[in-house]
Amino acid sequence: MATKTRPGNFFEDFRVGDNLAHATPRTVTEGDVALYQGLFGGRFALQSSTPFAQAMGYARSPVDDLLAFHLVFGKTVPDVSLNAIANLGYAGGVFGAPLYPGDTIRTSSVVTGVKENKDGKTGVVYVHSTGTNQRNEVVVDYHRWVMVRKRDPGAPAPPPVVPTLPAAVPVERLHLPPIPTAPYDPALSGSPDLWDDYAVGERIDHVDAMTIEEAEHQIATRLYQNTAKVHFNLHVERDGRFGRRIVYGGYVISLARALSFNGLANAQRLVAIHGGRHVSPAFAGDTIYAWSEVTAKEPLPGRGDCGVLRIRTVATKDRTCHDFPAQNASGAYEPAVVLDFDYSVLMPRR
């Protein structure tokens, strides 16, 4: 008798060139925005105040860029990573049209690479995913790679293909912000430090920290309709590698972004994800700290109101960041590091 349930794709089901049209379009609501705010506590003025956003040229406060990212990501999970062991990294991500409550997101992906792991039980799948709104405008576009279980360890693996991924997103690909309609007010944003005040190589300890609560992680991941088993099924994960559920890596990214307000309060919008690595898993009960380094400064062609800062943010668990923990001379990460995230933000200029 044929089953009507869907077990998700396993590694041997993927082929390079597969086009995946992900189900369930998602209309964003004010409730999504409020819940995201309650879960992460972001304080960036653009996403907090419609009058502030309108002075910056937006119709109203846009949805947090990472909420848009998570909603797009969540659509891909049933087809790409339902049977994943871990999400491994990101590259070439671009944030396009701002997302507002009332907009509807749809997501599609193309499989760009596959490579079986040496254990013969898992493999890495590479996908290029695109989220669009109801006007077919790109909201988020990015590459990611994920480790996926095989259904049958004895099944032949597809021919290995490892795609060439972009090392960085050029300024020319960035989505330009609207023209401000009023002078930028740093008193309202929470910091006097603008694009001009940051130096390449400058490091910032964001000082604050947040402990991951099991219930909050579960709520957040359900909010994104991310159905990956490793985040929810404790019955199965008790017998897995770690003996407990893994926190969705995007949850840690959102925590690190919220923490970065203390030092980067005027980084109002993310515009690119150049790369990112979930160095090690996070679990409920871990306390997340973060620090950032300015790795590049770029003006926007033809625009004097804002510039681009390229930021590397490193998040740790149960370890403060006053001494900027990262990698040693041999390239190995310190045990406390959970995230190494390379991205660009827009910041007003003087």
Q: Is residue 4 part of a domain?
A: no
> Taking the CB of residue 299, how many other CB atoms lie within 10 A of it?
13
For 149-203, the pLDDT digits (tens) are 999 999 998 899 999 999 999 999 999 999 999 999 999 999 999 999 999 999 9
Contact 278, 86 (CB under 8 A): yes
DSSP 193: -
For 294-350, the pLDDT digits (tens) are 999 999 988 999 999 999 999 999 999 999 999 998 999 999 999 999 999 999 999
Q: Give the burial string for 9-22 (b: 16+ CB within 10 Å, else e).
A: bbbbbbebebebeb
- pLDDT computed for residue 229 by the predictor: 87
Phi/psi-derived region of residue 4, left when phi > 0, alpha when psi is between -120 and 50, beta in every other case: alpha
Q: Which of 37, 21, 180 has the alpha carbon at shortest distance from 101?
A: 37
pTM of the model: 0.95
Q: Is residue 176 part of a domain?
A: no
| 256: three-class secondary structure by DSSP | helix
Kindly report the CATH number assigned to the domain that includes residue 27.
Answer: 3.10.129.10
- pLDDT computed for residue 307 by the predictor: 97
- Please name every residue paired with 146 in a beta bridge, in sequence order, or none if there are none: 87, 125
Contact 212, 246 (CB under 8 A): no
Q: Give the burial string for 241-280 (b: 16+ CB within 10 Å, else e).
A: eeebbbbbbbbbbbbbbbbbbbbbbbbbbbbbbbbbbbbe
Domain that holds residue 274: 11-152+188-348
Contact 5, 146 (CB under 8 A): no
Q: Is residue 77 part of a domain?
A: yes
Tell me how many domains the chain contains: 1
| CA pair distance 324, 315, nearest whole angstrom | 10
Contact 307, 299 (CB under 8 A): yes
Q: Give the burial string for 168-197 (b: 16+ CB within 10 Å, else e).
A: bbebeebbebeeeeeebebeebebebbbee
| Amino acid, res. 4 | K
- List CB contacts of 155: < 8 A, sequence separation 6 or more: 12
For 73-117, the pLDDT digits (tens) are 999 999 999 999 888 999 999 999 999 999 999 999 999 999 999
Residue 224: is its pLDDT beyond 80? Answer: yes
Write down the residue that tokens 């008790």 correspond to. 238
Q: Is residue 37 part of a domain?
A: yes
Q: Is 59 exposed, middle or buried (CB count within 10 Å of its CB: 0-12, 13-18, 19+)?
A: exposed
Q: Is residue 180 part of a domain?
A: no
- Please name every residue paired with 93 in a beta bridge, in sequence order, or none if there are none: 273
| CA pair distance 12, 2, nearest whole angstrom | 21
Q: Is residue 170 part of a domain?
A: no
How far is Cα of residue 181 from the mean position of the Cα atoms in its chain?
Answer: 30
- Distance, first Cα to last Cα, the chain: 68
| CA pair distance 14, 82, nearest whole angstrom | 13
Q: Which of 240, 220, 222 has the alpha carbon at shortest distance from 230?
A: 240
| CA pair distance 87, 206, nearest whole angstrom | 25
Q: Which helix (H) or strand (E) holds 158?
A: none
Backbone phi, then psi, for 275, in 5-degree steps?
-175, 165
The runs of H, that is alpha helices, within the chain are: 30-40, 45-48, 50-55, 65-80, 186-189, 214-223, 234-237, 249-259, 261-264
For 247-262, the pLDDT digits (tens) are 999 999 999 999 999 9
Please report, to the nearest 10 degrees, the dihedral formed by the alpha carbons of residues 232, 235, 236, 240 taken in order.
100
Question: Model confidence at 1, in pLDDT bands (50, 70, 90)?
Answer: low
Question: Model confidence at 2, in pLDDT bands (50, 70, 90)?
Answer: low
- List CB contacts of 187: < 8 A, sequence separation 6 or more: none
